[in-house]
Structure 1
Amino acid sequence: MKAYSRIPDTPGTGKFAATKTTDTAFPGHTVYRPRDLKALGAHKLPILLWGNGGCADDGASARLFLSEIASHGYLVVAAGTIKSGPGVPFRYEAPVAPPPGKVIPPVKTTYQDVAAGLDQAIAANADRTNSLYGKIDTSRVAVAGHSCGGLQALQLGGDPRIKTVLVLNSGLFSDGANPIAGMTVHKDLLKALHTPILYMLGGPEDVAYPNGTDDFARIDTVPAALVNLPTGHGGTFMQPNGGEGAKITVAWLNWQLRGDKKAASMFVGEDCGLCRTSGVKIERKHLTM
């Protein structure tokens, strides 16, 4: 992580060069957005709420990945403040022993923290003194997260304001098994889903593979896709511009939040883009253009 923290922030490859920033309107969160808001013109920013790996409180932990998404015209609100990256002194945090009966230390953010990012975005969009005033599309909202953050995304999946859910290198534990201190989840969360959902796993080497594939097998009421990349649990978050995982995420968001049919072709049809990508496996349920 120390070496990753020295990698410069990048603007992404999309039409709108992105910036990672803090904003007093988003306390306790990190914001990724197009740098030049005037360049948006009439374009409004759909929202992506983000839960960090480990449910950590470092909103910069997936900064290359999230900047890439923002560069395609999105407002990304990550739980936690900027605690890593260029200009931030590396701070060693001693391991915290989990409490009795748990195997993973307590979370530093909760799904309520992730959800708060949406309330803050709605308020900023209505605030004439904020640079984001009138520039956010508060009707187009996605929630996503990595690992423990993916569980937070599933906890928010039933929120009627959410239009799609992305679960990255994650999946719900078997009922009764809640090894993370401060978090209780169960398979019944899948019954609350009301939107299309994307699972992106790192293949059989991903520690979340059994949980994520079991979730996908259980889902039968909403459109769903399961994409496996040969990355293991770490995904492509630390790769330049977020790697292949960011490309897939942007395509899913463009389809689900903007109705982009070209983006949809990555997932839909016998000859879909991911169907033809070497090393990638895609499974689908009720998924149509």
Structure 2
Amino acid sequence: MTRCAAWMRSGVALVGVLVAVAMAPAAVADPPDPGPTAQSVFNKPGPYPVATAVRTNPCQDSILGMFEHIVVHLFGNRDDMTCTQAFPNGLESPVGVNTYYPADIAELPSAPLMVFTSGFSANPGMYDALARQWASNGFVVVIPYEFFNSLAYVPALGVATAVVANRDPNSPLYNKVDLSRTLFGGHSGGGQASLQAGTLFPGIAPMIDPAMRVRGVLAIEPGPLAVGALVSVPTLFLTGYNDFVVPDFAWVRWWQYNLTFQAPAWIANARGVGHFSPVDGLDNYLSAGTALAWLRYQAFGDEVAKDYFVGPNWRLPADKTYFSVERNALADAVN
């Protein structure tokens, strides 16, 4: 009996130990560090204050703007858009160019030119945050617009405005626009127009201005009326996994990225990004940092930015922002 009682006491003790172990907090390993994303590294204001004559207001201030506001929020945008008074969101001219630049540009040797075209029917004020971020990083940014924003004559209007300002002694941009570092970019219909500009302008740039050279194209969710085979400058295609208007698997690959064989090309498909994300707040447009990194790499040769696109260990494929990232053979050869 004594021995039996001892076994029972030992069993109870063992059960108590097992219960205590089971109830103790489990040791949880820290999640693996994905490393810094382009968004975390680059999505921030640059060192320069921004000068612009552009004034924006909530898009909901107009009937059309209220409709646009509802649409983009139905598609997943989180922030309220800003608009200018350009018709039909207001009573100002439907055609024009918005200009942004570093406020202390007089103290800079020069600044590269970014010509950005809005999306089809988009108000140029919807891209105010992107333009300010780029200008704060040392770019002269022009946003030409005329409602349709889908063909190369729209970025041509932006180029003309920048060239005139660069030659005008009364302009704050006089002799400050570095046309040898010109980039084109755009969203949706404007992305299509930027690819068209990347087709047309490299060959005729010296006829517009002897100093003008096209460094690259930033095509954000571009429309279908452009062919990659005709683009002859480095190009980054940014798409969105949640984009049902310009799906990553459609023409952006079929006859744009896949056919870009005259120049280095990259394509990055961001998780959680829809077609209207580029007009959302910068923190909610998850490719904003990558867009700026691309521009800094092409215009300034920024080594940190370059690491995301160049070399055998380029960093963008490891960026958890993206569902897929690819580059063509010519981009593979860049060093």
Q: TM-score, normalised by structure 2?
A: 0.64
1:55 Cα deviation after fit: 4.8
Gaps of 5+ in 2: 1-43, 55-94, 206-213
Return the index of the structure with the highest Cα Rg.
2
Among 74, 79, 96, which residue is 2:144 paired with?
A: 79
Alignment of 1:153-192 (within 5 A): 153-158=194-199, 159-160=201-202, 161=205, 162-172=214-224, 185=225, 187=227, 190-192=228-230
* CA–CA distance in structure 1, aligned partners of residues 46 and 284 of structure 2: 12
Contact 2:105 2:111 in 1 (8 A): no
Contact 1:237 1:245 in 2 (8 A): no
Give the letter aligned to residue 74 of structure 1.
Answer: F
1:129 Cα deviation after fit: 0.9
Matched, 1:272 2:300: no
Give the letter aligned to residue 21 of structure 1.
Answer: A
CA-to-partner distance for each residue in 1:7-44, whole Å, 9 max, x for gaps?
Answer: xxxxx61011224425xxxx811112112334xx2331
- Equivalent residue of 1:228, what SS? strand
Q: Greater helix percent: which structure? A: 2
Contact 2:144 2:158 in 1 (8 A): yes
1:206 Cα deviation after fit: 4.0
* CA–CA distance in structure 2, aligned partners of residues 143 and 70 of structure 1: 14
1:204 Cα deviation after fit: 5.6
CA 1:197/1:137 → structure 2, altered by over 3 Å: closer, same or farther? same
Among 205, 220, 238, which residue is 1:200 paired with?
A: 238
1:75 Cα deviation after fit: 0.7
Name the counterpart of 1:7. Answer: none
Give the letter aligned to residue 169 of structure 2.
Answer: R
- Equivalent residue of 1:191, what SS? helix
Alignment of 1:1-150 (within 5 A): 13-22=45-54, 28-38=96-106, 41-56=107-122, 58-80=123-145, 107=148, 110-150=151-191
Name the counterpart of 1:282. Answer: 325
1:64 Cα deviation after fit: 0.8
Contact 1:65 1:238 in 2 (8 A): no
Contact 1:164 1:196 in 2 (8 A): yes
Contact 2:100 2:132 in 1 (8 A): yes
* CA–CA distance in structure 2, aligned partners of residues 218 and 131 of structure 1: 41
Give the letter aligned to residue 70 of structure 1.
Answer: A
Q: Which runs of 4+ in 1 moved over 3 A?
A: 240-244
Name the counterpart of 1:251. Answer: 293
Contact 1:169 1:206 in 2 (8 A): no
Give the letter aligned to residue 239 of structure 1.
Answer: G
- Equivalent residue of 1:61, what SS? helix
Give the letter aligned to residue 141 of structure 2.
Answer: V
Superposition CA RMSD, Å = 2.4
1:164 Cα deviation after fit: 0.6
CA 1:108/1:254 → structure 2, altered by over 3 Å: closer, same or farther? closer
Contact 1:164 1:197 in 2 (8 A): yes
1:171 Cα deviation after fit: 4.2
Give the letter aligned to residue 239 of structure 2.
Answer: L
1:255 Cα deviation after fit: 1.4
Give the letter aligned to residue 167 of structure 1.
Answer: A
Contact 2:149 2:190 in 1 (8 A): no
- Equivalent residue of 1:48, what SS? strand
Among 213, 218, 221, which residue is 2:253 paired with?
A: 213
Q: TM-score, normalised by structure 1?
A: 0.73
- Equivalent residue of 2:279, what SS? coil
* CA–CA distance in structure 1, aligned partners of residues 162 and 267 of structure 2: 29
1:151 Cα deviation after fit: 0.8
- Equivalent residue of 1:221, what SS? coil
Contact 1:78 1:117 in 2 (8 A): yes
- Equivalent residue of 2:320, what SS? coil
1:78 Cα deviation after fit: 0.3
Give identity over the alignment, percent: 26
- Equivalent residue of 1:156, what SS? helix
* CA–CA distance in structure 2, aligned partners of residues 76 and 204 of structure 1: 28
1:242 Cα deviation after fit: 7.3
CA 1:186/1:194 → structure 2, altered by over 3 Å: closer, same or farther? closer
Contact 1:197 1:222 in 2 (8 A): yes
* CA–CA distance in structure 1, aligned partners of residues 143 and 220 of structure 2: 15
1:273 Cα deviation after fit: 2.5
CA 1:123/1:259 → structure 2, altered by over 3 Å: closer, same or farther? same
CA 1:171/1:28 → structure 2, altered by over 3 Å: closer, same or farther? closer
1:108 Cα deviation after fit: 5.7
